[in-house]
Structure 1
């Protein structure tokens, strides 16, 4: 078995004295691991950093084996990501989210989003918008998609300001007024497509996605939310105060 494809490095761990097990996200083969011989060398260590784009060649005798991987650099973004707190937290958070997906399952939509986000992590607000939309897409890819297009009660498509915690569907202001204390806020930029929300609206959006990630993903798997998520949210909030 052998394949060659571009991928984004998610993480790496030591294997023996000189090798490393590298985890990448590819468009057609999803999240994939492979053993890189000499992965701890001076030449390869800068390449095998989260956020970098590489061309990977993977081969194994059987498809279910870990396999051996060789990599060539295409875009070395790691140094730029390490320059800012949002870059560091952002790439760690995205990698943690991708690890929620089954290994070797293709998710081209998420791969394309990931590739775009890692190029724009220097701006906390813009990065926050893209990461939040990534979380919405992640829920959908995992089978827990939110319906934010129309009011669950009336079918209206205007003035959607709440989300039902039970159904994950949008609710209009008028329909949700009697139960607003039990509903989650829906930031207008998610429902209406605005591109530059303030930090308060972003925080509300992350509370919403965090609620559904906890209910459907983290709690059933008995895992904690990644610390990088809190770090990214704190950096987004801090950036608006500076």
Structure 2
């Protein structure tokens, strides 16, 4: 058994004295593991950094075996990660989120979302906004999708400013007014009409997706929120304060 496909490196762990087990995300085969012979060598280490895009060649005697990888570099991103705390945490957070999925289960929408995030690592605010959309897509792929297209009470598609914490459905300003203190704010840029992707709106977005990730995903699995998520939010806040000075 063998296949070749473009992939994004999510992480590695040691295997024996000289090899590693690489974890990559592919578009058609999902999150996939494989042994890289000599993966701890100086030549291989720069290729195996999380966030890199590689050409993956996987081989195994049987499909259910872990198999081996030969990974050839396509795009190396170590420099951009070193320069930005937001970029580093975004890559680590995406990898943590993808580990919530079953291995070898294809999720092309999430692969494409990660690829777009990697293209904007030099833009922390854009990276964070893209990560929020990635988290919304992740919730949907896990079966806990949010309905942000129309008001749960009236069916209207405009002036959506809240989300029900019970149902995950959007609520309009007028319909939600009596219960505004019990509803979650919906940042305009995540609603159908769109809006600014400012620091305050992105912070609201992380509170929104964080609530549903915690309730529906992390807590039922006995998991804590990834440290990289806290790191990304903190890095974004720091950048916002620097720009305000």
TM over 0.5: same fold?
A: yes
Runs ≥4 residues deviating over 3 A:
192-196
Per-residue deviation, 1:194: 3.6
How far apart, CA to CA, are the structure 2 residues paired with 1:217 and 1:234? 22
Gap regions ≥5 residues in structure 2: none
Q: TM-score, normalised by structure 2?
A: 0.96
Q: Deviation per CA, 1:82-103: give whole Å up to 9, x if none.
A: 2111111111011111111111
Name the count of aligned residue pairs: 242
d(CA) in 2 for partners of 1:197, 1:32 = 33
Conserved 8 A contact 1:161-1:186: yes
Alignment partners' CA distance in 1, 2:193 and 2:51: 27
Alignment of 1:17-96 (within 5 A): 17-96=17-96
Question: Corresponding residue for 2:103?
Answer: 103
Shift of 1:192: 3.8
CA deviations on 1:37-90 (whole Å, 9 max, x unpaired) are 000011100000000010111111121111111111111112222211111111
1:183-210 Cα deviation digits (max 9, x unpaired): 1110111114546421111111110100
Deviation by residue 1:8-28 (Cα, 9 ceiling, x = unmatched)? 000000111100000000000
Q: How does 1:117-156 map to 2 (within 5 A)?
A: 117-156=117-156
Alpha carbon RMSD of aligned pairs, Å? 1.0
Q: Tell me the residue number matched to 2:203.
A: 203
Inter-partner Cα distance in structure 2 for 1:178 and 1:158? 18
Show the counterpart of 1:186.
186
**Which residue is equivalent to 1:169?**
169
Find the aligned partners of 2:70 and 2:162 in 1 and give their Cα distance. Answer: 48
Aligned to 1:25, the other structure's residue is in SS state strand
- Structure 1 Cα separation of the partners of residues 161 and 10 of structure 2: 35
Unaligned segments of structure 1, at least 5 residues: none
Which string of whole-angstrom CA distances, capped at 9 and with x for unpartnered residues, describes residues 118-151 of structure 1? Answer: 1211222111110001000110111110000000
